[in-house]
Amino acid sequence: MPQRKAQPYIPVEVVEAVMDHFQKDKKTLKVCSRVAREWLPRSRYHLLGTIRVLPGNYRGLLSILNSPRSYFTVYVRSIGIVNPGNKDSSWVNDVMPALAKHFGSITEIVLGGLSWRQLTEQSTKYLCTAFRKSKSIMLLDCYFVRFSDIAELACSSDLAESIHIVLCKVDSTGGYPSPDLTISPNLRQVNIDTSPPSFVTWLSSQKPLRLEKLTVDAVTPTNITGMKSIISHSGSSLKYLRFGLDDDFLQLETQPHLDLSQNTYLEEFHLTLAFPNPFSIYVGLASTINLSFLVPLFSSIFSSSLQELTLRISVGSPDDLKVIDWHAIDELASERPWGRSLKRLHVELTEMVPGNEPQDFMEEAELIIYRGLNDIAKRGRLNVKYRPMRRQNLFM
């Protein structure tokens, strides 16, 4: 009787390395899952690592979870409860008990487009207590009843390393969070984009706070004190800082200065300025912009690790750029340690007036900027580019 040839043996480590390479290729992973029993766990690890619960699929998910032969939940690491278009969120009440029961070990929770007014007290309690092992908390385009709802979610995991709050709204400023709420001691990254400014103020009361990455879309006169506190407390831990200054701040006659002197290991700094207000362009309102804070801000940087500096500026015309003291910034770059470590200074420009040719706009703008940042430009570290306005779809 002829002997069967032994099948070639491929070490599991090699198989897993190959499948890790195709982790975003669902079609290839599905094929791999059928090759051999040994290939199945790694295939499922990538195929089932992330699931999104939607109005159109939650009933099917409930059916699978209620099956006695269902054990795929052990592979799920990220779960998103997403309500595209901000439609009726009440369906979440039907699925929350099952999600809380089966996905308590996930490491990422994403909530998108949910309205807290349409959630039951039990559902909100599940959201704040069921996912204690989450390292990442993402709140996208959600509508909350009280500010305390956001704070409770931010404190819902003792292991949270990152919190993202994007395009969220609060119906009422009432219901200030309980003083017993404490943020995760592991928190290292915070991203606040078009969300309640009061979150910055509240976050600054959480100590100790040692962030490595901080993004705040709008620093306002009401949250500037909290912003200064967070930056100061983060100290040398802070490596990435990005924030924008709103119109109210830029029009203050006397501006509080932000001090970056304690962030001695800062590697990237991104600053967004918007002037003038687009509305004033069309109705002819005068808009006085005060940029006296800018040079002292750059002067306060003492990091010798700074590699990337970005200025994102929205203007009505190239003439607006003359308000910035480019020469002073250029001199600071030649005097301070960050000027020697700097690899690239990006200036990204957006023209707020529609209909003009970007090429004509950029020719005038580049002339002003390159003249002012002459020394940085000579060293080949200056990059000026046009940045068109665009809106991102959060749920794509």
Sequential DSSP letters for 169-200:
EEEES-SPPPTT----TT--EEEEESS-THHH
Q: Left if phi > 0, otherwise alpha if psi is -120 to 50, otherwise beta: which for 175?
A: left
- Which whole number is the average pLDDT over 111-138? 96
Mean pLDDT in residue range 126-154: 95
For the segment 209-224, what is each residue's pLDDT rounded down to a tens digit? 899 999 999 888 888 9
Assess whether pLDDT exceeds 90 at residue 339: yes
Residue 240 has φ and ψ, to the nearest 5°, of -135, 125
Provide the pLDDT for residue 134.
96
Which phi-psi region, left, alpha or beta, contains residue 142 (left: φ > 0; alpha: ψ -120 to 50)? Answer: beta
Q: What sign for the dihedral angle of Cα 276, 277, 282, 288?
A: negative
The packing angle between helices 40-47 and 12-21, to 10°, is 20
Tell me which CATH code domain 52-196 carries.
3.80.10
In the chain, % of residues over pLDDT 90:
59
Model-wide pTM > 0.75: yes
Q: Quick one: average pLDDT of 25-35?
A: 76
* Burial readout 208-247 (b: 16 or more C-beta within 10 A, e: otherwise): ebebbbbbbbbbbeebbebbbbbbbbbeebbbbbbbbbbb
Give ranges for CATH 3.80.10 in the chain: 52-196
Burial of 165 (0-12, 13-18, 19+ CB in 10 A): buried
Q: Give the whole-angstrom CA distance, residue 223 versus residue 231.
A: 12
| Three-state secondary structure call for residue 88 | coil
Alpha-carbon gap, residue 367 to 250, rounded angstroms: 24
CA distance 372 to 44: 56
Give me the pLDDT at residue 5, please.
Answer: 59
Q: Is 52 a residue whose pLDDT tops 90?
A: yes
Q: For residue 331, what are the contacts with CB-CB under 8 A and spacing of at least 6?
A: 375
Return the residue matching tokens 């801000």: 297
Question: What average pLDDT does the chain have?
Answer: 87
What token pair was written down for 302? 């003492």
For residues 275-304, average pLDDT: 75
Per-residue confidence band for 326, with pLDDT thresholds at 50, 70 and 90 = very high
Dihedral sign (CA 28, 31, 33, 37): negative
Kindly tell me the burial class for residue 329, based on how many C-beta atoms sit within 10 Å of its own C-beta (0-12, 13-18, 19 or more): buried
236, pLDDT greater than 80: yes
Query: What is the share, in percent, of the chain residues with pLDDT greater than 70?
Result: 90
Which segment of 10-14, 27-31, 114-118, 346-350 scores lowest on mean pLDDT? 10-14
In this prediction, residues 223-236 reach a mean pLDDT of: 93
Range from 96-110, 245-259, 319-333 carrying the lowest mean pLDDT: 245-259
- Give CA torsion, residues 103, 109, 111, 112, to 10 deg: -110
Q: Is the pLDDT of residue 234 over 60?
A: yes
Read off the pLDDT of each residue in 4-29 and give the average, rounded to a whole number. 71
Give the CB-side neighbour count of residue 79, counting CA atoms within 13 A: 25
Q: Quick one: CA torsion of 342, 362, 242, 273, rounded to 10 degrees?
A: 130
Measure the CA–CA gap between 129 and 200, rounded to whole angstroms.
23
Compute, in degrees rounded to 10, the torsion defined by CA atoms 30, 35, 41, 42: -70
Higher pLDDT, 16 or 119: 119
Confidence of residue 163 (pLDDT cuts 50, 70, 90): very high
Q: Which residue has the higher pLDDT, 196 or 25?
A: 196
C-alpha 188/C-alpha 212 separation (Å) is 5
Query: Is the per-residue pLDDT at 11 higher than 90?
Result: no
Of the candidates 341, 260, 269, 343, the residue with the CA atom closest to the CA atom of residue 305: 341
pLDDT in tens, 164-196: 999 999 987 666 788 889 999 999 999 999 888
pLDDT band at 271 (very low <50, low <70, confident <90, very high): very high
The pLDDT, as a whole number, for residue 289 is 80
Please check the confidence at residue 283 and state whether its pLDDT lies above 50: no
Split at pLDDT 50, 70, 90, the class of 280 is: low
